[in-house]
Amino acid sequence: MQSEQLYAQILGIAAPWQVTEVKLDVPGKSVEVLVEYDRDLPPRCPDCDAACPRHDTRRKQWRHLDTCQMRRATPRR
C-alpha cells in the first residue's frame, strides 16, 4: 500500500478529496500529508448537493493527532 492510500484511510479522506503527497521527516519526527480537492470536479454544497462556486483555496495547515510517535501536520491545501 502506498503512503497516500494509507493516510487517506487513516484520516477518512474520500472523493472528491484525495491525499496527493506524504512527506516523512524522521529526524524532525513529523509527517506532512497534502490533501487536495479534485479540480476536475465542480464543488458541491454538502447540504443540498447543488453546484457552487469554488472559494477559499489558500493553503492551510493544522495539527492532527500524533501517530506512531510522529507529529502530523495535515492537511495542506
The C-alpha angle 71, 2, 46, rounded to 5 degrees, equals 75
pLDDT tens for 31-74 read 888 999 888 888 888 899 998 888 777 887 777 766 666 565 55
Domain ranges for the chain, please list them: 3-76
Q: Hey, what's the cell of 68? A: 506512531
Distance in angstroms (rounded) separating the CA atoms of residues 21 and 4:
6
pTM of the model: 0.69
